[in-house]
A and B are shown apart, each in its own frame.
Chain A
Amino acid sequence: MGGLPAGKVKRTEHAYDDWQLRVDAMMMLLVGVVGGKKRMTVDELRKNIESLPPADYDKMGYYDRWVISLTQTMIQRGVITTDDLARKMAEVGKRK
C-alpha cells in the first residue's frame, strides 16, 4: 500500500466497541502473546487479510477484517469447521 495515492488522513478517534475489543482479545489469546496455547500466527491473520478482495477490504472496518480473517484462520487450522460456524451463526442469528 505504501506510495499509492490516497486522501487526507482523518484524525477522528473514538473508543472501540466491546465487540471490537473482543476480537482484539481473541487474536492476542490465539497467537499466544498473553499466555495460553498458541493456535495460530499473526502471519496467518495477515495473509488472510491480504486475501480479502480489494473492494471488500476498503468497505470493511479494521476489526471487520480481523474477525473475518481470524475466523478463516481457525477454519484453516481445524480448530472449528465451516459447518460448526454455519450452525452457530444460524443459532445466534435467531436470538432476541
Chain B
Amino acid sequence: MGSVPIFSVGDRVRVRKAAPLGHIRTPYYIRGHEGVVERYCGAFPNPEELAQQRDGLPAQPLYRVRFRQKDVWPGYRGSAADVIEIEIFQHWIE
C-alpha cells in the first residue's frame, strides 16, 4: 500500500466486501457497493493502524465516493437522484 492515488474523479469504483477485525473507518453498510469518485481528499495516515498505536504510514489516499441511495438500500423510498457520499480509503477500493 503506497501513498500514490490511483483513481480519478468520475471513476466507477467498488468498495471491498470484507469484515475483518480491528478499527475500520469504512462503514459496514457501504461495503460491496459501487459508486463514483467525487473527489480526491489527499493522503492520510491509516486509521486502522493509528488505532493500534502505530503511525499509519505511508499515508493512504482517501476519496469521497458518491453512491446512489437506491443502489445502497433495498426498497429505498426517496428520490432516484438521492445520493450518499462517503470517504473511502484507497485500500478499501477493489
Contact = CB atoms under 8 A, between A and B. Distances in A.
User: Do A and B touch, yes or no (CB under 8 Å, in the complex)?
Assistant: yes
Given A3-B73, A50-B23, A44 B51 contact: yes
A43 B73 contact: no
Interface residues of A, number: 10
A76 interface: yes
Interface residues of B, number: 13
Nearest to B28: A2
Interface string B73-93: 100000000000000000000
A46 interface: yes
A81 interface: no
A2 B27 contact: yes
B41 interface: no
A43 B29 contact: no
